[in-house]
Structure 1
């Protein structure tokens, strides 16, 4: 059965962040993810997890100047020292929170980049990910990369599943994996059943995420069949978590009717 993790950056925003852990637990979630933990003391976050019987399964490494519009720096030449500092900080939090995975965002590139500039972005990305994966392997943590659609995040360096898998294969580190967000994948390339059946058996997918398409609301609203996709994931024996990275249309708890079929599946 699928195991769902509440994304506390998008869900339960009717509560203060520190109170979202209790709300997610009360609704039956056994795990959480969110964008960034760095505004909070790791000890306090760990207490929230422990007090409510929750696992931390994912967060992002520091992404550069997020409030100024940056969306990662791993593919940006000249930012290597900042990337390394970001990875070290993320791994400190991951250890404190017993979190097995950290997502490293690639960053935005100019749409008019020349072929030589694009090649430099890719080479920088690969080199930074190789360093990050080696560093993370020493403490038993996986590094994830995620293709993101260009409608929601124009200019993001990584958009398609095949591109992400090619990067993972080029780096060749067993703890570098793909974060497959079915919302982004549907918008960019579709054919989700084929994507799941092609990519999950490779062992290169470490985490799934879901949201309704096209509006990024509850996953049972829109053009995707949640029941079918979960059945495919089960068929393929995926043992990771499925992050619920969506914006509830109204109150979070009121929109969780879709979860009732799966309550208790997160063990």
Structure 2
């Protein structure tokens, strides 16, 4: 499985003094960030980044970024090309590769881009109008397929598996897993609320005989790919180990440290 994760990071800029005896202010962020959608973050500028990661091997296949809201659709097209090249180099058919898309790509248009490239896909969908389709309404009236409990948060989701649902009016048909749980007092950050229930949609092309509705949910919610890998790298590579404001060679610094240890050993 390959994880394509689009993230948006907001940054806060400190105030710059502007007086007659100072040169014109210059911000380094101007080359990397721009005004954009900040979500719930109280910052001034935004940078968008797309990361491609091979989940089971933790291979970083590529990353693309842009100032402001970025071109997430164009970056997805670049990601698809990287994944296809990766499959070609390893001799794998593209249809055997599963692409997990972050919620940023939850609309129909990005999903069509992946499907047209002959790649299997699993993604969280924002197309909540699919709940109004007759085939989905009838499925929600019947017995659920599974009740899933998240091992960490303990959240219970009731899963309804819809085998064939039109992604758009012109198709194609995809598999839709509807996950429901009771609403709380606060507004849901993810999903849509209807009649006291929260509905989450997961679109996939995985076959029913090989993957249950619970498998589809677990594959999507397994975010041990992008976020955890980068967090591990941050823990293992402390910044003071690989950069310094002082110009010096690491080899010379290491030799000096060794000589210092020898001198202390001889002294005592």
- Judge same fold: TM > 0.5, yes or no: no
TM-score tier after normalising by the smaller chain length = 0.3 to 0.5
Higher relative contact order (CA 8 A, sep 6+): 1
TM-score under structure 2 normalisation? 0.32
Q: Greater Rg, structure 1 or structure 2?
A: 2
Q: Greater share of strand residues, 1 or 2?
A: 2
